[in-house]
Amino acid sequence: MLAIFDVEGVLLDAEFLPILAEKINKQDEIWEITRKGIEGTIKWEEGLRKRIELLRGIDYETCKEVADSLKVMTGAREACFALKAAGWKVMAVSGGFTIMTDRLKEELGLDYVFSNELIFKNGTLDGVVINVDSDKAKSAMIKIKEWKEKKENIVVVVDGANDVKLFEICGLGVAFRAQDIVKDLATVTLEEKDLSKLIDLINTHYGLKIQTQTIA
């Protein structure tokens, strides 16, 4: 069994680039492009490159400080630890960056994370390497094939239009506090801002009895 999560807005209760943009008063421009990407009204890759271009020149320390400050979503630890304890594999596929997902992988005990990479030259932001594009399923399939996971045993938890191709490779698609387009394509929706509630949805769908533990 495998659970695949989006990161920003799902495992993390924040969007990295808009917060980073506040440091140089470009948050309105960045949010506008971010929103269009999430809603699917512009090509996601194009939007990402535009945003990085607007933020070019910010120093590495500021980027790292913002990345480390991003709050883990309520219930994310409980959900991930419960799934791991039940013998599941847990993966994240993010349009975000290693500067934030490396910490998350450690904190949540994720088996694997696909994400993009910020390029720094002389200590300042200079560009981006896009490993994960708008077809996140393409990235996820690399590990799905390696782990020999069956479609019906895969759960996907996402919130944005750039995530929906993941629904094509899973047995249970969960729209977590998501855009309408995502809700329309999902198997179930979860509106409550608490990822631990995912365990109830999984138990109901698969007839399981996975227990969530309280984490201090």
Helix (H, G, I), strand (E, B) or coil at 65: helix
CATH of 16-69, one of 1.10.150, 3.30.1380, 1.10.287, 1.10.3470: 1.10.150
> Whole-angstrom Cα distance, residue 42 to residue 122?
32
Per-domain residue ranges of the chain: 2-13+71-117+126-206, 16-69
Q: What is the amino acid identity at position 205?
A: H
> Whole-angstrom Cα distance, residue 76 to residue 82?
10
> Whole-angstrom Cα distance, residue 63 to residue 86?
35
pLDDT number for residue 216: 60
Task: Give helix then strand counts, H and E, for the chain.
Answer: 9, 7
pLDDT number for residue 161: 84
pLDDT in tens, the chain (216 residues): 999 999 999 999 999 999 999 999 999 999 898 788 777 788 888 899 999 999 999 999 999 999 999 999 999 999 999 999 999 999 999 999 999 999 999 999 999 999 999 999 999 999 999 999 989 999 999 999 999 999 999 999 999 888 999 999 999 999 999 989 899 999 999 999 999 999 999 999 999 999 987 776
pLDDT number for residue 179: 86
**pTM assigned to the model:** 0.94
Give the class (CATH, top level) of 2-13+71-117+126-206. Answer: alpha beta
Q: Are the C-beta atoms of residues 6 and 101 closer than 8 Å to each other?
A: no
Residue closest to 176 by CA, chosen among 50, 5, 3, 2: 5
Residue closest to 162 by CA, chosen among 31, 38, 11, 21: 38
